[in-house]
Structure 1
Amino acid sequence: MQFSKTLLWLAALATPLLTTAQAPKTTTPVVAGKDVAVVSTESGKVRGYVHNGTYTFKGIPYAKAERFMAPTKPDTWTGVRSSTTYGPVCPIDPTTTVNDEIEFSFQHNWGYMNENCLSLNVWSPQLTAAKAPRPVLVWFHGGGFSAGSSVELPSYDGENLAKKGDVVVVTVNHRLNLLGFLDLSSFGDKYKNSANTGMLDLLASLQWVKQNIAQFGGDPNNVTIFGQSGGGGKVTTLMNAPSAKGLFHKAIVQSGSYLSSFTSRALAQKVGAAMLDELKLQPSQVDSLQTMSYERLSAASKRALRKVNESLKPEERSGFGLGWGPVLDGLFLPYQPSDAAARELAKTIPLLVGSTKTEFGPFNPANRETDLNNAKASLQKRMGDKTDAYMAAVRKAYPETAKASDYLDVDINFRAGAIRQANQKAVADAAPVYMYLFSWASPVNDGMYKSMHCMELPFVFDNISRCEEMTGGGKEAHLLADRMSRAWVAFARTGNPNHKGLPNWPAYNPQTGATMLFDNTCQVKNNPDKELLELALGKPL
C-alpha cells in the first residue's frame, strides 16, 4: 500500500501537461482537456483522461476488418483522436428480458453494437516507465465466443487494479458468434481465415500491445493474458496458437477450462454450408453474406447450428452442443490442445487456473427453496444409489455445508475442467501451474448468489465498491479483494502469485493437487475435493 500512496502523492505534485509522466495537481477526480493524457501510437495520437490519478483511454482502435476477413492494421489519423468513451461492442442478439434478482447482482451494461468493434481500453498509473517496467495485464471478456464485451460488467473496469499493482491493464472488444467463427473456407481461398477471425482479432490486439504499450508505461516483454468463462477459453486458445507465441508471457484461466478440443474443420464447414442452405444461396453467391444484415444472418445461423447439431452422431457431440468457437483450421490453430506440439508451444508460460465453488448452481431457482428431502430426491436422479455417499463427500470437501441447496449447487464440471487443464500443463512442464478455488459466498439477497459464476471478478479487479449489488461491499469482501488482486498482480509480475497477505501457495502438481481456497480465511488444501469429484464423475481425475 505504501508504494501506491507514494504514487498518488507524486501525482499530486505533477505539472498540468500530461504528456509527461504524472497526473496534474487537482482537487477534482477527473481531469480532461486537449493537452491531457496525450499518447502517440503507431496509428496516431490518442487523448484520454485522468481519473483519480489513473490515466484512462477507451475505444482505441487496434485493428480494422471486413466481415469474415482477417483483421489488418487500423487506419492512421492526423491530429489527436479523442479516446475517452468505450467503443462499440460486437453485435449479438439483443437482450429483451432479464431475471430481476440475477440482473440485480450483475448490473450489465450492454453498450452499443457495431461491427466496427475492434477497440481496446487502457488504464495506467503513469505514462512513462517506472524504475522497473510495469507488467501488462490483457483481459478477455466472458460470454463464451458468442456474446459479452469489455464494458459488459462493472467489475471489468481496470482503474483499481492498475493503481493497486502499479500495472497497466488492457481490456479488448472483438468479433463474436457468426461474425467471428463462421467457417466459409470451403467456398474459396478468400475465406480461408473466416473460421477464427474472432481469435485473430485478439491476436491483433496483442500485436498492438507489443508495438504500443510502452507509450502507456507498460512492458511489452511482460504481458499476462487473463480471462473468465469464455475469456478463459480464449486464453487457452491463444496458448495453442503458434502465431501468438512471444506476444504474452503468462496466462490466467478463470472458470474457463471447458475447452478441451477445437471444432474440426469438416464440422465447421458443415455449418457454413447449412447457412447458405438456410438462406437459399448457391456457393457462387457466398459473397452476398458480406452485405446481408446481421439480423438475417443471425436468424439463419441459429437454424443452421440446430440442423447440424441434430445430424451429429453421439460421439461427435460435446456437452455444450456445437456452437460458435475456435476451429482446428490448420492455419491459426494447427493442433488440438492435447497434442504434444500444442503443449510445447506453452511450455514456458506460467499458468494460474481455477473456478468458483458453485458456478451455475445458484442460477437455478429450484435449488434455492428446496429442503433436504427434495435435494436428495433431485440428486438421486443423477447419482442413484451413490447419493448418500455423494452427500457425505460434499460435507467432507466443504465442512461449511449447511443448507439443503448446498448439495445441489456445488460445481463439478468447471472444477474438473480446471484440474484437467492443470494436470495436462503441470506434467513435465518447464513453467509452474497454480490452482485456486473461489469459495467465498456473497451475503446479498439472503445469500442466494453464493460463489456463483463471475463472483470472483470484483475481487480480482479490486472492484468491490463498483459491484456492491453482487458482493455487498462489506469489510470481508474488501479484505479478500485485496488478497486476490495482489495475487493476480504478483503472478503477472513474476509468474508466482505468492505475497505476504496469503499463506504459502505451492505450485500445483497432479500428486498433491495444491489448491488455494479463497474465502474469508484463505488456505491451501491438497486435493480438497478429489473424492467428491471422482464419485460424481465416475472416474479418476
Structure 2
Amino acid sequence: MKKIILLGGLLAVSTLATSSFSYSQTDPLVAGKNIAVVSTDLGKVRGYIHNGTFTYKGIPYAQSERFMPPIRPKAWTDVRSSTAYGPVCPTDPTTTVFDPLEFAFNHNWGYTNENCQTLNVWSQGINDGKKRPVMVWLHGGGFSAGSAIELPSYEGENLSKKGDVVVVSINHRLNVLGFLDLSSFGDKYKKSANVGMMDAVMALEWVKNNIANFGGDPNNVTIFGQSGGGAKVTTLMYAPSAKGLFHKAINQSGSYRQSFLEQEDSKKIGEALLEVLGLKPNQVDSLQKIPYEKLNEASKKAIAKVQDQMKKDGKAFVGGGLGWGPVHDGDFLPYQQVDPAGLAISKDIPFMLGCTKNEFMASLLNPAIRDFSKEQAVDFLKKRYADKTDAYLKAVEKAYPNTTKPSDYIDIDLAAFRPGMVKHANLKADFGGAPVYAYLFTWQSPVNDGMYKAVHCIELGFVFNNIDRCQEMTGGGKEAKILEDKMSQAWINFARTGNPAHKGLPAWPAYSSQNGATMFFDNKVEVRNHHDKELLEISSSK
C-alpha cells in the first residue's frame, strides 16, 4: 500500500512539474527546459516566450581568429540556452556621458568579448511551417562602435508582433578587429580588410539555413539598418557573396558614404600600425596576441599618421575623414559604388532610404544656439553663406514652411546625410531595376524643451514600434503613437511585398531623380517632390 501511495505522489508531482512549465498564452513570460526549443544546423537552442513572442538571444553564427574570415562555429549536442544577449565587440570604453543626450538615448553598453559573432531572433511562431517575412537588423555606430543591444529601440518583440514578421539582429566585428587591412603581409591576411562585413554575410547564411525553423521565410529577407548600419546595408548590396541572401534593403541615415576606402590607403593603415608598435613585417602574427586595448590605441595613431599623409597628398576621405570601414579590395568588394557592375549586383533589390531632418544638429554641440534670436541666427549663418544668406533663409522657408524658431534655420542637416541620401537615391533609381522609395523624418520631439528635434536615431522607436520603450526620446505621447503606427506598418509592408504603401499613408510613388518623391513622416504625413532642391544647391555651393 505504501508503494502505491508513494507512486501516486510521484505522479502528482510529475504532473504538477509538467503543467508548471507548459506554455500558456496568458503568461507574460514562459521559460523552462522544454520551452521554445528549435533545431539549427549546429544544434538545438532554447529561448523563452515573452508576451507570446518566441525570443532567442546570443545564438552563435560564426567564430574566427583575429583578422581571419569567419567560419562555422563548433556544433553542440545539448540544447543550448539562448536567453541572454551575447557579447558585443570591444570598442573605446565609455567613461563619461553628456547627461541630456544620455537621458534620451538610454544606452546599454553590454559586455565585451572579441568572440562576438552572435544574433538574436524574435518570432510569433516556431516549427509551424509558416513563411513569415524576415527582417535582419544591422546596428549603427559607424563601423567602429555600437551593438545589437545598444539602444532600447532595437528590441524586436513589438515589430515582430505587429507585423507577424521574424526579426533578427546581429553583432559582428568592428574597428581594428573587423577592418584592419594586413594584406601587405602575405596571403594569410589577404581578406583581413573586410572580415567585419564577412561576419554579416555569415549571419545571413545562418538565416538562410535556419530561419524556417523559427517561422521565417528564407526567400523573403529584408536587411535594414541605421547610420553605420545603413552603410552596412549598402555595402552588402555591393558584395557578390551576399547576393541571394537578402531580397529587399532599407538604409536609414546611412548614405553619408559615397565610396569604399581604396585598398592602397587601407594597406597603409596596417603598415603604419606595425610601425607604431615597433614590429617588423615578419612579426605581423604577433598582432594576434596583443591585448585589444593596446591594439586599439596603436590603431588610432596609425590612422592619424596615414590621414596626415593623405592630407599632404591632397587625397579626399570617405565619409569626411579617414576611419574604419569597408575596403574596395577587388575580392569581397570588387567594385566602387558608382561602378555599373557594382550597381548591377543589387539591381533587382527593392530599396528604401531616408534620413531625419536634423541628424547631428549644431545646437546639440553649441546649446547657446537654441536660444538665438533671429538676428543672432542670421549672423551665425552669414559666416557660412555670406552674401547668399538671404537666399538661404528663403530656401529654408520654402523647403520647411513651418520654420519659425531661429535655431531651426541652423539645425537642418545639409552636410552629409540628406545630400548623401539624394545622391544615393538618384544613383540607384537612375540605374533602373527594382523600385526605390525615399522618406524624410521631420517630426519634432517635445522632450527637454524640444532640444532633440528630429535628431539622429529618433526614427528608430517609430520603426520598431517601440515608442513605449523610447519615451525619453519622444515623450511617448499621442502624436508619437499615431506616427509609430504609420511608420512601423510601412517598414513591415516593405519587408512583406517590397512596397511600403498602406492605407494609413497617402499614395507613395517610387522615387526617381525627375520626381524627387519623398514621404514626409510628421504629424502630417505627405509626399513632396524636390522640396529642398534650392536649399541643397545653396548649401553645396559653400
Same fold by TM (over 0.5)?
yes
Are 2:439 and 2:521, in contact at CA under 8 Å, matched by a contact in 1?
yes
Distance, in Å, in 1 between the alignment partners of 2:451 and 2:103 is: 12
Distance, in Å, in 2 between the alignment partners of 1:253 and 1:329 is: 23
How do residues 218-257 of structure 1 correspond to structure 2 at under 5 angstroms? Answer: 218-257=216-255
Match of 2:6 in 1: none
How do residues 227-306 of structure 1 correspond to structure 2 at under 5 angstroms? Answer: 227-306=225-304
Distance, in Å, in 1 between the alignment partners of 2:276 and 2:331 is: 28
Point out the structure with max Rg over C-alpha. Answer: 2
Give 3-state SS (helix, strand or coil) of 1:315's partner: coil
Query: Is 1:168 equivalent to 2:166 in the alignment?
Result: yes
How do residues 524-539 of structure 1 correspond to structure 2 at under 5 angstroms? Answer: 524-538=527-541
Going from structure 1 to structure 2, the CA distance change for 1:17 and 1:80 (only over 3 Å counts) comes to farther
Query: Is 1:351 equivalent to 2:351 in the alignment?
Result: yes
Q: Paired residue for 1:425, among 425, 428, 431?
A: 428
Give 3-state SS (helix, strand or coil) of 1:525's partner: strand
Match of 2:10 in 1: none
Alpha-carbon displacement from aligned partner over 1:459-497 (angstroms, at most 9, x marks no partner): 000000000000101011011011000000000000000
Distance, in Å, in 2 between the alignment partners of 1:438 and 1:367 is: 22
Are 2:352 and 2:436, in contact at CA under 8 Å, matched by a contact in 1?
yes
Match of 1:217 in 2: 215
Match of 1:184 in 2: 182
The alignment yields a C-alpha RMSD, in angstroms, of 1.4
Are 1:17 and 1:35, in contact at CA under 8 Å, matched by a contact in 2?
no
Q: Paired residue for 2:398, among 396, 399, 420?
A: 396
Match of 1:330 in 2: 330
Task: Specify the code of the residue in structure 1 equivalent to 2:393.
Answer: M
How do residues 63-462 of structure 1 correspond to structure 2 at under 5 angstroms? Answer: 63-129=62-128, 133-312=131-310, 313-361=313-361, 362-364=363-365, 365-412=367-414, 413-462=416-465
Task: Specify the code of the residue in structure 2 equivalent to 1:363.
Answer: L
Residue 455 of structure 1 deviates from its aligned partner by 0.4
Residue 230 of structure 1 deviates from its aligned partner by 0.1
Residue 376 of structure 1 deviates from its aligned partner by 1.3
Residue 316 of structure 1 deviates from its aligned partner by 3.0
Going from structure 1 to structure 2, the CA distance change for 1:26 and 1:219 (only over 3 Å counts) comes to closer
Over 6 Å off, 4+ runs: 15-18
Going from structure 1 to structure 2, the CA distance change for 1:233 and 1:108 (only over 3 Å counts) comes to same
Distance, in Å, in 2 between the alignment partners of 1:130 and 1:506 is: 34
Give 3-state SS (helix, strand or coil) of 2:58's partner: strand
Alpha-carbon displacement from aligned partner over 1:183-229 (angstroms, at most 9, x marks no partner): 00110111011100100000000000000000100000000000000
Residue 129 of structure 1 deviates from its aligned partner by 4.5
Alpha-carbon displacement from aligned partner over 1:496-536 (angstroms, at most 9, x marks no partner): 00001101100000111110000011001111111111111
Distance, in Å, in 2 between the alignment partners of 1:344 and 1:470 is: 39
Give 3-state SS (helix, strand or coil) of 2:57's partner: strand
Distance, in Å, in 2 between the alignment partners of 1:37 and 1:454 is: 32
Query: Is 1:470 equivalent to 2:453 in the alignment?
Result: no
Distance, in Å, in 2 between the alignment partners of 1:474 and 1:457 is: 16
Going from structure 1 to structure 2, the CA distance change for 1:493 and 1:521 (only over 3 Å counts) comes to same
Distance, in Å, in 1 between the alignment partners of 2:195 and 2:459 is: 29
Distance, in Å, in 2 between the alignment partners of 1:368 and 1:270 is: 42
Give 3-state SS (helix, strand or coil) of 2:122's partner: strand
Task: Specify the code of the residue in structure 1 equivalent to 2:320.
Answer: F
Distance, in Å, in 1 between the alignment partners of 2:125 and 2:277 is: 52
Alpha-carbon displacement from aligned partner over 1:258-311 (angstroms, at most 9, x marks no partner): 121111111000000000000000000000000100000011011110011000
Are 1:367 and 1:409, in contact at CA under 8 Å, matched by a contact in 2?
no
Give 3-state SS (helix, strand or coil) of 2:212's partner: helix
Give 3-state SS (helix, strand or coil) of 1:390's partner: helix
Distance, in Å, in 1 between the alignment partners of 2:181 and 2:364 is: 33
Equivalent pairs counted in the alignment come to: 520
Distance, in Å, in 2 between the alignment partners of 1:426 and 1:523 is: 21
Are 2:257 and 2:318, in contact at CA under 8 Å, matched by a contact in 1?
no
Are 2:88 and 2:116, in contact at CA under 8 Å, matched by a contact in 1?
yes
How high is the TM-score relative to the length of structure 2?
A: 0.94
Give 3-state SS (helix, strand or coil) of 1:424's partner: helix
Residue 427 of structure 1 deviates from its aligned partner by 1.1
How do residues 53-68 of structure 1 correspond to structure 2 at under 5 angstroms? Answer: 53-68=52-67
Distance, in Å, in 1 between the alignment partners of 2:138 and 2:162 is: 20
Distance, in Å, in 2 between the alignment partners of 1:130 and 1:524 is: 39
Task: Specify the code of the residue in structure 2 equivalent to 1:185.
Answer: S
Give ranges in structure 2 of 5+ residues lacking alignment.
Answer: 1-17
How high is the sequence identity, in percent, across the aligned residues?
64
Give 3-state SS (helix, strand or coil) of 1:349's partner: coil
Residue 317 of structure 1 deviates from its aligned partner by 3.0
Task: Specify the code of the residue in structure 2 equivalent to 1:274.
Answer: A
Match of 1:10 in 2: none
Distance, in Å, in 1 between the alignment partners of 2:318 and 2:24 is: 57
How high is the TM-score relative to the length of structure 1?
A: 0.94
Match of 2:501 in 1: 498
Distance, in Å, in 2 between the alignment partners of 1:214 and 1:318 is: 38
Give 3-state SS (helix, strand or coil) of 1:224's partner: strand
Task: Specify the code of the residue in structure 1 equivalent to 2:315.
Answer: E
Distance, in Å, in 2 between the alignment partners of 1:375 and 1:96 is: 34
Task: Specify the code of the residue in structure 1 equivalent to 2:102.
Answer: E
Distance, in Å, in 1 between the alignment partners of 2:237 and 2:431 is: 17
Residue 339 of structure 1 deviates from its aligned partner by 0.3
